[in-house]
Amino acid sequence: MGPLQGVKVVEMAGLAPAPFGCMILADLGAQVLRVDRGGAPGPGLTPPDGPLDRGKYTVALNVKDPADRETLYALIEQADVFVEGYRPGVAERLGIGPQELAARNPRLIYGRMTGWGQDGPLAPRAGHDINYIALSGALDLIGRAGERPVPPGNIIGDFAGGGMLLALGVISALYERAQSGRGQVVDAAMVDGSALFTAFMHGMHQVGLWNAPRGENALDGGAAFYDTYECADGRYVAVGCVEMQFYAELLAILEIDDPELPFQLDPTGWPRLKEVLAAKFKERPRDEWATLFADSDACVSPVLSPWEAHEHPHNRARNAFIEIDGIRQPAPAPRFTRTPAATPAPLEKDSGQIRKLLSAWGVQNEAISRISS
């Protein structure tokens, strides 16, 4: 099931962005085989199995061992996609760089997931999500007026600008291969991907609509009509009524009828408008406001935690969250009419199932025996 059914992916185990990108590929129907590091464990964080590994199979290989490396080559010869998240040069030193693998399989799409990219002064340096989005300009946009930038978890770099960019690059390369018959390398860098997410702001800045400091612009919490407000129970609602007719509906539901109120789009009046809206929202608990605004176009929503989002009626109606192996998590997206994604299964470790998968790939019995023994 899924539009990528029949696509074979070999993923070298890693942290966050590359596993997320391969999770997307698996959600869309690709068969993803995660290769864990065999041999003695080295330093570093090893993540627990969970949502990022759903729909995948796993084997352990020590690619520093020549026999295991030959086994990996046998997998590569049958694969469509190979994904690694090493620092530049590491895969080459291990004998699994693009040139080595292309010699085994010229049609292979080679996905490289890094923070800084394969070249540039910072390419060999360490970093994390916060560093990549700092350099791309994305981090500077996030935070309250007069305060320091706020790291938005590791969403923008690792997942949006990293794993999602990787998945898009791989799928694009697969499409091009259908015309050319040739594989290529996909250089997915989180600093590039997070920069892409600031494209709209660059356009706004050019025409003078995003020139104020952080937290003082229309869409970053500066405007009264695009912000969050605390409710009587200490929880929050999000207000996003940018259009004037939606703003008018907000005021009507809140029963605010004051001809002396500043004009909605006048930045000098935003502090006063915020005071009025903040006082109103403090009068009722969050869920009561959510009920009042549920059938309106005022663009008011309850701010839900990730752990309660599955309970919202809209998310329930769309089955937006599923449970796999006892872990609640977001369902695969987007949705397709003819080739819908199947409900993902937990990470498959059973040697019998892995043997069946590799046999279907066309891997020789000798290599299968070594992998699944």
**Is there a catalytic annotation at residue 128?**
yes
Among residues 21, 30, 22, 12, the alpha carbon closest in space to that of 75 is found at 12
The beta strand positions in 244-363, using DSSP E, are 300-302, 321-324, 327-330
Q: Which of 158, 192, 220, 227 is catalytic?
A: 158
DSSP string, 232-243: TTS-EEEEE--S
Q: Assign 60 to helix, strand or coil.
A: strand
- 204: number of Cβ within 10 Å: 16
Cα dihedral 43, 44, 50, 51 sign: negative
330 half-sphere exposure, CB direction, 13 A CA radius: 10
DSSP string, 310-332: GGSHHHHHTT-EEEETTEEEEPP
Q: Assign 112 to helix, strand or coil.
A: strand
Among residues 101, 103, 128, 100, the alpha carbon closest in space to that of 116 is found at 128
Contact present, 156 and 194 (Cβ < 8 Å): yes
Sheet holding 109-114, edge to edge: 56-61, 31-37, 8-12, 81-84, 109-114, 185-189
Residues in the chain: 373
Distance from C-alpha of 198 to C-alpha of 252, rounded to nearest angstrom: 34
Q: Backbone phi, then psi, for 84, in 5-degree steps?
A: -135, 150
Q: Which of 36, 128, 312, 325 is catalytic?
A: 128
> The tokens of 358 are what?
């590799």
Residues carrying an active site annotation: 128, 158
